[in-house]
Amino acid sequence: MSTIKSSAENLTLNADGANNDIKFQSNGSEVASIDQAGVLAAGGATLTGNITHAGDLTLDVGGDISLDADGGDILLKDGGTTFGTLSNDGGYFDIKSTTSNQDISIKGNDGGSTVTAVRFDMSDGGKAIFNNGVAIGGTGAANTLDDYEEGTFTVGNGNVTVNSGTLTWRGTYVKIGSLVTFNIVQLTGNITWAVPQVITGLPFDIEADQYSCAVYTNEDPTIFGGMLAWHTNNYLYFQAAGTNQIHICISGSYHTND
């Protein structure tokens, strides 16, 4: 058995001269070496324990880098605290943010600018927030969903006579891409309206040169149907008249350039 041992002080291995490395051999074959820059080359060597370095650490290999964790987890840490894991979990490849409510984002380089392509909001059940739409079945504009919105709007109207009560309207909408679907409900108020009935306050301007079909109903089941035609900006003309109408519902859709 051959040993080099120091029990009371540091052990110095010194290879004098320029470009001379410290080489380690087993049975006459080199298994590792340390060059003058302190780079450890270990051909087929097995390292155990921890590798600690105060600065940056670069792994530069001529082939692939394999991370083989028999425990199934690769831990990502910062200052000793785990912030994420890569795991083999029951046949699934899991990418996990371990910090409470910490989002996961996927970023890239778009012509020299950093963009966040998608962010997963972990404080909202993992909701996916896409930066520039989702393309389905193709990559063109016709295949791209780039907008979804829902909300309420204030309904304006003209040519209305309030017979009794207080006239109250409620307007709601859903916008998917360029298609806006709206619903207008008269909650209270006995009214008479004349032709044309003007509806204003729609949440988005109507695309030019188009009509928007809609139907309306009220307490009289024999009165229904109608057409809403585009006008300037967000005006709709309702081409039907009514008398003593208390509860009215108007539903329709149109396209917008907004």
Q: Could you tell me if residue 133 is inside a domain?
A: yes
Question: Are residues 173 and 239 located together in one domain of the fold?
Answer: yes
Identify the pLDDT of residue 228.
Answer: 57
Q: Could you tell me if residue 63 is inside a domain?
A: no
Question: Are residues 242 and 217 located together in one domain of the fold?
Answer: yes
Does pTM top 0.75 for this prediction? no
Q: Could you tell me if residue 54 is inside a domain?
A: no
CA distance readout (Å), 181 to 6, 54, 173, 230, 231: 83, 60, 6, 14, 17
Question: Are residues 175 and 223 located together in one domain of the fold?
Answer: yes
pLDDT digits (tens, 9 = 90+) for 112-144: 999 999 999 999 999 999 999 999 999 998 899
**Domain final position from 86, 120, 146:** 146
Largest CA distance in the chain: 111
Q: 188 by DSSP, 3-state: which?
A: strand
Question: Are residues 183 and 112 located together in one domain of the fold?
Answer: no
ω into 203 cis (within 30 of 0): no
Q: Could you tell me if residue 226 is inside a domain?
A: yes
Question: Are residues 111 and 141 located together in one domain of the fold?
Answer: yes
Q: Distance between CA 97 and CA 104 in Å, rounded?
A: 7
Domains: count for the chain: 3
Identify the pLDDT of residue 232.
Answer: 58
Q: Could you tell me if residue 57 is inside a domain?
A: no
Question: Are residues 176 and 206 located together in one domain of the fold?
Answer: yes
124: containing domain: 104-146
Residues of the chain with pLDDT under 70: 1-2, 43-48, 209-234, 238-241
pLDDT digits (tens, 9 = 90+) for 50-74: 777 788 888 888 899 999 999 999 9
ω into 196 cis (within 30 of 0): yes
Q: Could you tell me if residue 249 is inside a domain?
A: yes
Question: Are residues 137 and 117 located together in one domain of the fold?
Answer: yes
Identify the pLDDT of residue 122.
Answer: 96
Question: Are residues 41 and 123 located together in one domain of the fold?
Answer: no
Q: Distance between CA 139 and CA 141 in Å, rounded?
A: 7
Question: Are residues 120 and 187 located together in one domain of the fold?
Answer: no
Residue count (the chain): 258
**Domain final position from 146, 164, 180:** 146
Q: Could you tell me if residue 58 is inside a domain?
A: no
Identify the pLDDT of residue 171.
Answer: 93
Beta bridge partners of 144: 135
Q: Distance between CA 186 and CA 92 in Å, rounded?
A: 52
Identify the pLDDT of residue 168.
Answer: 84
Identify the pLDDT of residue 63.
Answer: 92
- Amino acid in position 83: F
Q: Could you tell me if residue 75 is inside a domain?
A: no
DSSP letter for 21, please. Answer: P
Question: Are residues 163 and 197 located together in one domain of the fold?
Answer: yes
